[in-house]
Amino acid sequence: MSFICMDHVTYGYGNTPVLNDINLCLGKGEVVSLLGPNGSGKTTLLKVLLGLCRPQNGEVRLEGRPVRQINAKALARRMAYVPQTHKISFAYRVIDVVLMGRMPHKPFFFRYSTQDEAQALKALEQLSIAHLRNRPYTEVSGGERQLTLIARALAQGADILVMDEPVSGLDYGNQIRLLAQIATLADHGYTFIKTTHFPEHAVWISDRVVMLKGGKVLANGHAPMVVNEENLYLLYNTDIGMADLDEGLRVCVPRNMLGHFKKRKPVDSFNYFTPNPLKQVI
């Protein structure tokens, strides 16, 4: 049975269509990566999915039920939005940001109860960042901020996490740790729908990859099948080679970099002014 379905979804700002007749079906517990060049409609697709943008045509269905018929709080209990790491103006504590996730479970006038606080703390502990709970959200690192937002989604009780470029702005180590965290949560039954600019990340942790170009679906299917040289060329207009490492882990390398790479010479000044950096390290 289809879990989340988009039927003939068309959406545009003004007269320019951003999404053009999108048909997609996503399964429960899948990690779905949306790949596509800038302006291909990835973020808009997420917004339509979340009910932030109402499609001019077509319908989004969650377990067969049109999303626009589900009220905002009920939808929030199923589906959580994890935005790109953002710098907010006010330095709320990490635990207070996570507590906001309890909002869809509360009546109109409310106070967060001790249960809510325990839920928020549990969400933080599931991501092993409970020790950050009293730190200002604005002062933790980008990776920790992204984890905080994921914790908020968990506290929300949602089983579908919609993430817009979750790794953007993170250092390489944090990117990888975040991907591992997503994969672990997916093993526990959470469904992830995320956009990314890294084909590799899509292959490594996704079950399904959807490629978008010019508001249309270019390819949709099992990640290792869809992410191939041919599709990547069509998607990015760049010649990208793919190789499998020893155990079959797939990596992408842009071929046109080879020429540039070979032209690089050792920089003279480097030899004169800097002692061998390797020696320093040792």
Partner 1 sequence: MRNRSSFIAELDSAIKKGTMILPEKTVVLMPLLLFLLFAAAVVSLSLGRYPVTWSDIYDFFTAVLSGQSLAGCRKLQILKNLFIDIRLPRIVAAMLVGASLSVSGAAFQSMFINPLVSPGLLGVLAGASFGAALGMVTTSTWFAVQISSVAFGLVAVAAAVGMAAIYRGDRLLMLILGGIISSALFTSLLSVVKYLADPYSQLPAIVYWLMGGFSAIDAETVWAVCIPMVSGIVVLISLANYLNILSMGDEEARCLGVNVRLIRMMMIFPATLISALTVALGGMIGWVGLVIPHIARMLVGPDNRKLLPASAVIGAIYLLVADDISRLAFTVEIPIGILTSLVGIPFFALILAKSKKGWN
Q: Which residues bind partner 1 (CB under 8 A)?
A: 47, 50-52, 71-77, 79-81, 83, 86, 88-93, 95-97, 100-101, 103-104, 109-115, 117-119, 121-122, 125-126, 128, 130, 133, 136, 138, 156
> How many whole angstroms separate alpha carbon 211 and alpha carbon 280?
46
Tell me whether residue 27 or residue 83 sits nearer to partner 1 (CB atom): 83
Tell me whether residue 193 or residue 219 sits nearer to partner 1 (CB atom): 193
For the bound state, the minimum distance from the C-beta of residue 202 to partner 1, rounded and expressed in Å, comes to 23
Tell me whether residue 156 or residue 231 sits nearer to partner 1 (CB atom): 156
- Burial class of residue 277 (count of CB atoms within 10 Å of its CB; 0-12, 13-18, 19+): exposed
The tokens describing 197, both together, are: 């600019």
For the bound state, the minimum distance from the C-beta of residue 121 to partner 1, rounded and expressed in Å, comes to 6
> How many whole angstroms separate alpha carbon 120 and alpha carbon 126?
10
For the bound state, the minimum distance from the C-beta of residue 209 to partner 1, rounded and expressed in Å, comes to 24
Contact, 216 vs 23, CB < 8 A?
no
The 3 state secondary structure assigned to 5-33 is EEEEEEEEECCEEEEEEEEEEECCCCEEE
Tell me whether residue 70 or residue 218 sits nearer to partner 1 (CB atom): 70
The tokens describing 256, both together, are: 């046109």
Contact, 79 vs 52, CB < 8 A?
no
For the bound state, the minimum distance from the C-beta of residue 12 to partner 1, rounded and expressed in Å, comes to 14
Contact, 49 vs 162, CB < 8 A?
yes
For the bound state, the minimum distance from the C-beta of residue 247 to partner 1, rounded and expressed in Å, comes to 29
Tell me whether residue 137 or residue 204 sits nearer to partner 1 (CB atom): 137
For the bound state, the minimum distance from the C-beta of residue 71 to partner 1, rounded and expressed in Å, comes to 8
Tell me whether residue 21 or residue 96 sits nearer to partner 1 (CB atom): 96
> How many whole angstroms separate alpha carbon 256 and alpha carbon 70?
49
Q: Which helix (H) or strand (E) holds 191?
A: strand 191-196
Tell me whether residue 17 or residue 136 sits nearer to partner 1 (CB atom): 136
* Cα-to-chain-centroid distance, residue 12: 23
The tokens describing 49, both together, are: 């999915």
> How many whole angstroms separate alpha carbon 101 and alpha carbon 95?
10
For the bound state, the minimum distance from the C-beta of residue 104 to partner 1, rounded and expressed in Å, comes to 4
